[in-house]
Structure 1
Amino acid sequence: MSDVNPKTASVPALDGWFTLDCERPQLLGNRCAACGTVYFPKLKSGYCRNPDCDGEAFEETALSRTGTLWSYTNAAYQPPEPFAQVDKDAFKPFAIAAVELEAEKMIVLGPIVNGTGVEQLKVGMRMELALEPLADGKLTWKWKVAA
């Protein structure tokens, strides 16, 4: 696992978006009770966005932990809030991945774990969800190459 200390790192950067299980984290979405459409992040409105559905009830659902690398890029800029800001001189570029979730077949963006650069990535690779702290110590989800 990365630099996450499960005893001290328990504050999420975005509350309710993912579980805090450092060994097997999962993103949390919701599923329309009427048609089964899955959303991430969770819908805040009271109706399903599927144009063929009139559903208004949703159930929280844990999403796939694994998927396939669909695309990626190098982020050579400091991200905006809610990500923790660091001194401009201390900022280091990082990779961002678009991963197609295994069961849901939806694309979820997220940074790649520290220590993995774009030169180590290839479209089609198996990816797995991980947790890592931001500069302020709050946890966020990231993607890592699956073992």
Structure 2
Amino acid sequence: MQHTNTQDTLVGLFVAAGIAGLFFLSFQVSNLSSFTQKATYTVTARFDNSGGLKVKSPVSAAGVKIGQVSSISFDPKTYQSVVVLQIESQYNTLPDDTTASVFTAGLLGEQYVSLEPGGSETFLKDNGTIDITQPAIILEKAIGQFLFKAAEEKK
């Protein structure tokens, strides 16, 4: 088989497309895919345990991503995790009695904050606070409690 310049060009294009695909995939996996800055407002939530929540973890409502976690810190006075959320401005009609929970996507997936809207007539404002929160469920702790309870029942 004869080696031609057309073959070299096609192989080069194929390799370039593969590299571009890997580049795009790495941005998707690392949550860096949004190059454009959307207008957001800030909301703070305090959790007894934020689990494995990370900066840039998604914030969702009804399964739709509406923002992301911008910072996580520890309050030494209340011994709580302080999570700052950046919510896209188009979702500025979340009631001020909205609840926030930390969930895991799938059995071993990443953790995210899920917002459950309440029924209040007033809305969360910039620099507002979500007062009702539910901490992350730690799988190891839940299994340990189950095993401890099962051992108690056998006695």
**TM-score, with length taken from structure 1:** 0.24
TM-score by length of 2: 0.23
**Is the radius of gyration larger for structure 1 or structure 2?**
2
More helix by share: 2
